[in-house]
Structure 1
């Protein structure tokens, strides 16, 4: 992916898109638009505040980082450990969603978002880029959960899945041809 650091926007390169996608978004808000240089604001990446700011901006899409909780709930969080950005400790994947949703970001005291929260906030207003964060090479459960939620919200044409793990992208394509 190409990161335009000036405005915290990027152009993705490794991703899975719907085969019927007719328009590809040009400007994507990285971590939901977090740069202090963009519109004079700095927001915690993947937070409600950052998502709302991106929704009010000119970007075509919103990129978020998605992890899977111990009990199988997809949620937004970028860092490998909780202490990097929250008042928690350890690996995010080692906790159930009930525990994770009690944590707050250090920078703005906001709670972590479940992927369903993001889908409810964004709806079909913008494209959504899901950057999958998983240490597992073949993460069938994660792939199934993502596919299930995208289909449940009927946003197959608005969601683009990306990952540094090519095996996850292959699983996504095998699991659902319409995403």
Structure 2
């Protein structure tokens, strides 16, 4: 089966998203080869793995990620909202997730930034990735084209990807302009023509967020190279590994 399974924020359908518990659950499934995570900066410059700009939805904390130091963030409970079994689960640092995933999962690391929201985010992430010898195991993606340009300026060897969720515009042209070899796109924005064109150009396509077997099969029929990003990698397994 060529349509690779990507665990969205880890196995977020069953574990609290973007936590080490979700990462471990994804790693435990042998057919999960990729994982998507989100990275922001704490006030004191530590790359932390969390999706929302606010702490309110997925932790027992309040306020913006950028306004809290790492020592404050790491003390928060990021698991209880998902269930009693995950009480005490923490917001992990990118360093922790890289260490756990190294040699086990490739990572699509979304740089959650816009404009000048997180000065130094790209530099901090790249330094961590390179310090662990994981340059070939990651792709750095973002909605923010300026952030992707910064990545290329800092280290042209790092693979970059554009996140695209617009009904307008030409993602294929934008990828060429940005020298990106990866497209992260909402599954309902993807069509056979675009998929075939990008595959011909050796651009990897990741479709998100696909949690129904019917949609997984539709994407697989569209093109065998489309990576399927899902909160439910178990459904991917039931769909494509049927005996």
Class of the TM-score when normalised by the shorter of the 2 chains: 0.7 to 0.9
SS in 2 for 1:113: coil
Residue 54 (1) aligns with residue 33 (2): no
Q: Distance in 1 between matches of 2:116 and 2:32?
A: 32
SS in 1 for 2:135: coil
Task: Tell me the TM-score normalised to structure 1 length.
Answer: 0.79
Partner of 1:84: 57
Specify which of 42, 65, 71 is matched with residue 69 of structure 1: 42
SS in 2 for 1:149: helix
State the structure with more CA Rg.
2
Partner of 1:94: 67
Residue 29 (1) aligns with residue 7 (2): yes
Say if 1:137 and 1:165, in contact at 8 Å, map to a contact too.
no
SS in 2 for 1:82: coil
Per-residue CA deviation, residues 36-69 of structure 1 (Å, 9 max, x unaligned), is xxxxxx1111011110011111111111111100
Q: Distance in 2 between matches of 1:25 and 1:149?
A: 29
Say if 1:129 and 1:162, in contact at 8 Å, map to a contact too.
yes
Q: Distance in 2 between matches of 1:85 and 1:125?
A: 26
SS in 1 for 2:123: helix
Give how far 1:125 is off: 1.2
Partner of 2:167: none
Matched residue count: 150
Give how far 1:174 is off: 1.2
Task: Tell me the TM-score normalised to structure 2 length.
Answer: 0.59
Give how far 1:114 is off: 0.3
- CA 1:140–1:94 in structure 2 vs 1: closer, same or farther (change >3 Å)? closer
State the 4+ residue runs in structure 1 displaced beyond 4 angstroms: 137-140
Say if 1:69 and 1:95, in contact at 8 Å, map to a contact too.
yes
Give how far 1:26 is off: 2.7
Mapping for residues 90-169 of structure 1, pairs under 5 Å: 90-105=63-78, 106-107=81-82, 108-109=86-87, 110-137=89-116, 139-169=118-148
CA RMSD of aligned residues (A): 1.7
Give how far 1:33 is off: 2.0
Q: Distance in 1 between matches of 2:50 and 2:61?
A: 12
Give how far 1:81 is off: 1.2
